[in-house]
Structure 1
Amino acid sequence: MGYKIGKVFSFSASHQLPDLPAEHKCARLHGHNYRVEVTFRADQLVPPGFVTDFGDLAPFKDHLDDKIDHRHLNDVMAHPPTSENLATHLAIWIIDNLEPGIHGTLISVRVHETDSTWAEYSPDRTK
């Protein structure tokens, strides 16, 4: 219940998944033009009627631009850079660095590698 907002961000990056068989195309170095959708929720709106101001999400865009865009994700992430792990990685960054300063609560991060494929992570908010 409550209100939801979403915003889409994009970046380009390379990665490879070397634990896959050599003949698997994702084992080879390749890149994607990623699209990341973040969704926030709130039970109540803050003036003038926001879950959170979209402008308050700018630090996440700055993080993507500075630390992720045009990088090799194998060098950026501690886990294999699958879309699932990337969604988790980005959600943790948002929870740790963005959420303390905004009104809304993150409910999901969806990572698109292509127009037809995506992975989504929704943090457990019951803890």
Structure 2
Amino acid sequence: MFRIGKQFRFEAAHSLPDLPEGHQCARVHGHSYTVEVYLVSDGELTRPGFVVDFAELGPFSAHIRDHFDHRDLNTVLDAPPTSEHLAAYFYQWCRNHLRLPEPVRVEKVRVSETASTFADYGPDLP
């Protein structure tokens, strides 16, 4: 199996509902988000030896830029804008919108709010 990944970055604000009074994340605050998309292939590589050309992830980069960068995430997502919900949203977006050749598939998406925290989403995660 082959696995590749690419990182994307965006800046955004959010607040999280249903937290105890005084919790810092209940207030509006911002993060420098990192999103990592992991693609896997059980098959042969495409010419010249790629799982897929990283340029095929261009539509995802544009989607982040146009809909998430410098936004209030509470107005973007239909769910509380946690890293977990963002990872699931981005995974589904990639599955539904990226044109990947067979047998390449999206394995998982990782979203980090800080350098030391992250959430992963993928249907086959252990």
Identity between Structure 1 and Structure 2 (%): 51
- With structure 2 as the length reference, what TM-score do the two structures score? 0.93
Q: Is the 8 A contact 1:91 1:123 kept in 2?
A: no
Q: Matched residue of 2:3: which SS? A: strand
> Could you say what the CA RMSD is over the residues aligned between the two structures, in angstroms?
1.2
Counterpart position of 1:64: 64
Higher helix share: 1
Q: Is the 8 A contact 1:12 1:31 kept in 2?
A: yes
Q: Is the 8 A contact 1:68 1:76 kept in 2?
A: yes
Q: How is 1:88-107 mapped onto 2 (pairs within 5 angstroms)?
A: 88-98=88-98, 101-103=99-101, 104-107=104-107
**TM-fit CA distance, 1:110:** 0.5
Counterpart position of 1:18: 17
Counterpart position of 1:31: 30
Query: Which amino acid in structure 2 is aligned with residue 111 of structure 1?
Result: V
> CA deviation digits over 1:46-70, x for unaligned, max 9?
1111111001100000000000101
4+ runs of 1 displaced by more than 3 Å? none
Extract unaligned runs of 5+ from structure 1: none
Distance 2:94 2:15 in 1: 24
Extract unaligned runs of 5+ from structure 2: none
Q: Matched residue of 2:7: which SS? A: strand
**TM-fit CA distance, 1:22:** 2.2
Q: Is the 8 A contact 1:22 1:28 kept in 2?
A: no
